[in-house]
Amino acid sequence: MGQLCSQRSCNRYSTTYTLCNSHHYCGLLLSEIKPQTPITMLLFIRIFLVLFGLIAAATGFMGTTAKYNPAIMDAMTDNNHRYVAAIWMATSLAFFYVAWNPSETALFRFLMVALFIGGVVRAAALVNYPTTPFLIFLIAIELIPPVLMLWFHTKLLNSGSL
């Protein structure tokens, strides 16, 4: 006996599936189907949030605890670097919090915009000194993932998955 099948689309997960006999998908019950797109996007967001949090914690700590060398910089510049490093280190808490609670939209968007602006400023500063592969890597990690994360986060919010 042939099965009556039709193509259906799922707005929540932006996917299509084949519906057979009103409750089967290629021999599986519809309740057993778990589309991977939202899970993958959320996993990508969480991995990068934790990665940015670890980077902020480590580099912030290194900046706040660096040994002062008066031959390299004056006291005011050193003090400003330590202050900014402490703020950056404290930002790691926000990255970890949003990784745990991705529905905190305002904080998430603030962090992504801040990272992106940091990447733009870092790229603009390249007119002052020669480019190195490490600087290009830093610029890329501050420009590309935040845009993707913001896009994924918006898709997840619009689909009701957060």
Q: Beta-carbon neighbour count of residue 153 at 10 Å?
A: 22
Tens of pLDDT along 48-99? Answer: 999 999 999 999 999 999 888 888 889 999 899 999 999 999 999 999 999 9
Q: Beta-carbon neighbour count of residue 158 at 10 Å?
A: 12
Give the model's pLDDT for residue 161: 81
In percent, how much of the chain has pLDDT > 90?
65
Q: What's the rounded Cα separation, in Å, for the pair 34 and 7? A: 17
Average pLDDT, the chain: 83
pTM greater than 0.75: no
The strand pairing partners of 19, in sequence order, are 6
Choose among 135, 140, 128, 148: nearest CA to 49: 148
- Range list of β-strands (E), 11-112: 15-20, 24-25, 28-29
